[in-house]
Amino acid sequence: MAFISKDFRSPGEAWVKTEEGWERKKVLECGGKRKRHSSEGSISDLGSSGEGEDEEVGCMPPHYHITIRCTREIAGFNGLTEAVKRLDFRRSVRDRKRFHYICAFLLLVSNKGIASLPGSAQRQLLQMVEEVASHVNDSQQHPNVLRGLALKLEHIVNQENQKCWGKPLGSTYLWQEHVARIKRIQRVASQIEIREPDPKATPKLHELPEECVREIILCIADHRDLESAAEAWETMAKLVSEQRIWRELTRFHFNQRQINTILDLDKIKQMGETKDWKQIYHQLRRTYGVNDDYQFAEVLALCRSCCCLFWPSDGHPCIVDQSPDYKQRVEEAGGQLALAQPVPPAQFLKYFSL
């Protein structure tokens, strides 16, 4: 017997027509307001106050329940397209806290090969890259990230065109649509120019006192950015050479136990303030490596209670809120965030069969 839903006795999924085509209503519930076509043919917002049903849609924070381990009782499948939509990746591109996380995710997927993904996943990921291009063009920030993505896409197109059949397997129309979108992205990446600030705007960076410039440098978490800043300006070069800058950078990336294993404490006491923290940092970096997760201002989290991926700043509907007894035990253990595990981009991709 042919059936549409998981159970032929159920009415099936509820679908909503959007500007991008038909989409399941449960996917649109996560991700804020979206445009949809009403029954009269006009376009309305999901989550608007026009109808009672629309008020409920879009009020749920972005989240996605995953299946970590399949058992005889639970057989689940994690879909990359649905996860990207329910976690609102495309809209998160314009969030400065999540921008680098999304771009790192796109680079990892590109390295694995976009052409091997399902057609819906290919379209969704390329739309995200196009959103990155639009954001970089509007904000005038991170053009190097966009150029890296554009070069990766160009390499994918060239690699697919060199195959014996001349194009990847699948829909010819879909691949032509991808190529057109990639050309638009490359055009934006090649034409983008960083506009100079208004000459009348004050104060300028070179007019700031050294104390302010030092605080700016202390916010940099990558030693390569420190070295580039030192080459750009004499004042920054003098500040970057200070021991405090490298000491704070070392303590940011490494704990005291790691530092103590590298350093001979007796020799440090004899040396006093003459220790070179720049040398100590690079020695620790070669020994332990630098955790790349520190470059992200916000990282996806996995709730251990309900196996749900979510953004920590938005939260998620959890089973803890439904059980008062369980919620009390969680609060005694340190709160709901104590049960959340950070999920870097590489770990996020491991939940899907790519």
- Could you read off the pLDDT of 153-177 as tens digits, one per residue? 998 888 887 776 666 667 788 888 9
The vertex-119 CA angle with 70 and 69, nearest 5°, equals 10
Kindly state the average pLDDT of the residues 244-273: 74
Maximal C-alpha separation, the chain: 82
287 contacts 88 by C-beta, under 8 angstroms: no
Q: What share of the chain has pLDDT > 70, as a percent? A: 73
**Which of these, 9, 30, 12, 28, lies nearest to 20 by C-alpha position?**
28
Q: How far apart are CA 35 and CA 6, in angstroms?
A: 28
Between residues 140 and 76, the one the model is more confident about: 140
Residue 52, pLDDT score: 41
Q: How far apart are CA 300 and CA 25, in angstroms?
A: 23
Q: Which of 124-128, 139-143, 172-176, 251-255 has the highest mean pLDDT?
A: 124-128
**Position 337 confidence tier, pLDDT thresholds 50, 70, 90:** low
Residue 140, pLDDT score: 85
Least confident of 88-97, 123-132, 219-228, 256-265: 256-265
Residue 102, pLDDT score: 93
Quickly tell me which residue has 């495309």 as its tokens: 90
Residue 318 clears pLDDT 80, i.e. is over it: no
Q: How far apart are CA 300 and CA 95, in angstroms?
A: 14
**Position 50 confidence tier, pLDDT thresholds 50, 70, 90:** very low
Between residues 36 and 312, the one the model is more confident about: 312
**Position 54 confidence tier, pLDDT thresholds 50, 70, 90:** very low
192 contacts 141 by C-beta, under 8 angstroms: no
Q: What is the pTM of this model?
A: 0.72
